[in-house]
Amino acid sequence: MSGASLHTAVLIAVMAIGTALLRFSPFLIFKKVLPAYVVYLGKVLPPAIIGMLVVYCLRNTPILTSPHGLPELIAVSIIVLLHVWKRNSLLSILSGTITYIVLVQYVF
């Protein structure tokens, strides 16, 4: 292995260990006693994080320039309506994605 490859391997190891550390540390820290506050967070964080992830996914949507986030708005609306109506996750996800692909490739 060349010096450059070795450095790359070290960086990959650092990224892997750093990511694993973040994922494992809460489990290790609260292994014995689980404070009531953490139990509370365990209940209310999942819905809050789903909200965060939706915004995170849409963070680069251009609102001020054309097409002003219209493909995103239409696709998200279809997902919401379809899911309230049918409650079928796979159907909602596929319909929303296909709508979006058609909109960005052929319409806007």
Partner 1 sequence: MKRETVKQAFITSIPVMAGYLVLGIGFGILLRDAGYGVPWAFCMSLLIYGGSMQYVGVGLIAGAASVLTTALTTLMVNARHLFYSISMIGRYKDAGAYKPYLIFGLTDETYSLLSTGEAPAGVDVNFYRFLVTLFNHCYWIIGGILGNLLGEVLPFSSEGVDFSMTALFVTALVEQWLNVKEHRPVLAGLGCTLLSLLIFGPEKFLIPAMLLIALALTLLRPSLEAGKEAAK
Rounded to the nearest whole angstrom, what is the least distance from the CB of residue 13 to partner 1 in the complex?
A: 8
- Interface residues toward partner 1, by CB under 8 A: 4, 7-8, 10-16, 18-20, 22-27, 30, 34, 37-60, 71-72, 75-76, 79-80, 83-84, 87, 89-90, 92-94, 96-97, 100-101, 103-105
Instruction: Identify the CA nearest to 104 among candidates 62, 41, 47, 44.
Output: 62
Rounded to the nearest whole angstrom, what is the least distance from the CB of residue 68 to partner 1 in the complex?
A: 16
Rounded to the nearest whole angstrom, what is the least distance from the CB of residue 29 to partner 1 in the complex?
A: 9
CA 56 from chain center: how many Å?
A: 7
Rounded to the nearest whole angstrom, what is the least distance from the CB of residue 25 to partner 1 in the complex?
A: 7
- Report the residue number, 24 or 68, with the smaller CB distance to partner 1: 24
What crossing angle do the helices spanning 70-86 and 89-102 adopt, rounded to 10°? 160
- Report the residue number, 7 or 68, with the smaller CB distance to partner 1: 7
| Euclidean distance between CA atoms 107 and 66, whole angstroms | 12
Burial string for 72-82 (b: 16+ CB within 10 Å, else e) reads bebbbebbeeb
Say which amino acid occupies 15: M
